[in-house]
Every structure is written in C-alpha cells, then in structure tokens.
Amino acid sequence: MHLSKSAILVGVTLASTNIAQGHHSYAMFDTTKQVTIAGTVRTLEWSSPHVWLWIEVPDGKGGSDPYGFETVSPAQLQRDYGWERNILHPGDKITVVFAPLRSGKNGGELEKVTMQNGKVLATRFTNGISQPDPAGSEPKK
C-alpha cells in the first residue's frame, strides 16, 4: 500500500511539472511575423513571471485600441538588458516591434521598443535571437 501511494505521488509531481512549464509556451505567438506599431504607454506591469507592456494605439477614428505585449521576467530584463521598473511611464510615445498573437487579438511577444528620443530598449531579440528561447535560459550574446 505504501509503495502505491509513493508511485501516485511521483506521478502527480511529474504531471504538475509539465503543467507548470506549459505557461512558458510561445505557441500563441506567430514568431514568423514581425509587426511594428506606434503608440502611447498605458502601463508597464513589472511582475513575475513575465513583464507586460500595455500601450494605446490610435485607431484612425479619433480613438485608440489597447495592445498588450509579453516579455521575460523583471529579473532577466534588469540583469541582461538594463531595464528598470520605471524605464517607461504612462504617456511616453514609443514604437514597438512584436510577434503578433495567432488569435489576431491586439498584442504579442515584445521584440523591440524604441523611445521617442531614438533610444532602443534591448530585449533578447535585439541581441540577435530570432526565435524565443526556453524560459529561464540565458540569452545568446
């Protein structure tokens, strides 16, 4: 009886490991495409496991549409690319290059941010990586 409980525990542990890794899938992004848009920063969500950048993009009708962009963790942005939690502020005008969502919704995986003054905020894509790397791995340099 004790052996079967151990076997079940091992099975559950292994199954949950695969589920936990599942949220790092990049299948939702079309990494074969690159889209560039300009907009205004709404917010930078500096939180784990991934940072989100939200911008408002003019819709051509006098309004705007929200776009959301996912990127790596705050620790990786700081350590590898020099970002800080206050690097972008609401109202900043920026241009974003991203891999779009396969669903067609507004947003995708953040590849490059160019600020109004021309400064480029580095990401793993600006360091010569053309495809997403597995979560937790070091960027190629």
Model pLDDT for residues 50-73, shown as the tens digit of each residue: 999 999 999 999 999 999 999 999
Map tokens 């496991």 to a residue: 49
How far, in Å, CA of 72 to CA of 4, rounded? 40
How far, in Å, CA of 45 to CA of 49, rounded? 11
Q: Which CATH architecture has domain 26-121?
A: Beta Barrel (2.40)
Spans of all domains in the chain: 26-121
Cβ 40 vs Cβ 88: under 8 Å: no
Model pLDDT for residues 80-136, shown as the tens digit of each residue: 999 999 999 999 999 999 999 999 999 999 999 999 999 999 888 876 333 333 444
Q: What is the pTM of this model?
A: 0.73
